Amino acid sequence: MVKKGLWILFATFALLIGLYPTIYFLTNRKFGLLSSKSVELLSNTCWNIGFYTHIILGGIALFIGWTQFSPKMRNKRMALHRKLGKVYIVAVLLSALAGIYVAFFATGGWISSAGFICLGTLWFYTTLKAYLYIKHGEIAAHQKMMVYSYAACFAAVTLRIWLPILTIMYGDFIKAYLVVAWLCWIPNIIVAYLITRKIAYQ
Per-residue pLDDT tens digits of the chain, which is 202 residues long:
666 777 788 778 888 888 877 777 777 666 667 777 888 888 899 999 999 999 999 999 999 998 888 777 777 888 888 899 999 999 999 999 999 999 999 998 999 999 999 999 999 999 999 999 999 999 889 999 999 999 999 999 999 999 999 999 999 999 999 999 999 999 999 999 999 987 554 4
pLDDT at residue 74, rounded to an integer: 77
- The pLDDT, as a whole number, for residue 200 is 54
pLDDT for residue 9: 82
pLDDT score for 201: 47
From residue 4, how far is each of 1, 10, 70, 76, 100 by CA, in Å?
5, 10, 12, 19, 35
Q: Burial, 87: exposed, middle or buried (Cβ in 10 Å; 0-12, 13-18, 19+)? A: middle
Full-model pTM: 0.89
Reduced to 3 states (helix: H, G, I; strand: E, B; else coil), residue 108 is coil
Q: What is the pLDDT of residue 29?
A: 65
pLDDT, position 181? 97
